[in-house]
Structure 1
């Protein structure tokens, strides 16, 4: 199975449902840092649809929803989203 497929599957299965009782709410500063992250990644990956970039960043933040140390969640989420979008970009460029 291709790396991009594994990453895409991992991201889609990592999103909790809105009714997930275990999911911790995001801190307000994390939510504030998500918008600039989306903007940076949209600029870095212009060939990828904006909705896909936003969904990838949201999934990356959800991946760290149970992290006890919250200070590093924004940077870790951005790194995770960049990795996933890099794989998507490779697929998009290969299909062109």
Structure 2
């Protein structure tokens, strides 16, 4: 599919305040969401104003999504959420990495 310039919204790239609120591990409210790259019932990959955010859980679903305002609410059983820092590659810390030192 060719890139359509009319669909691109550069105002989404502006720095937005980013906040994460987790309530009872059942509801995750986010601000500063620029895009939802992928999602299913186990995992969400989000582009936020502070980098990529991976949300993992069980029976996850979107309750509210407003990308123009950067708001997203995810419901389900939240196991973890991690920021993916592409600039820093962390060394392996598993059993085999310690064994091979």
Same fold (TM over 0.5): no
* Normalised-by-shorter TM-score class: under 0.3
Higher Cα Rg: structure 1 or 2? 2
* Superposition TM-score, scaled by structure 2 size: 0.27
Question: TM-score, length-normalised on structure 1?
Answer: 0.27
Q: Which has the higher contact order (CA 8 A, sep 6+)?
A: 1
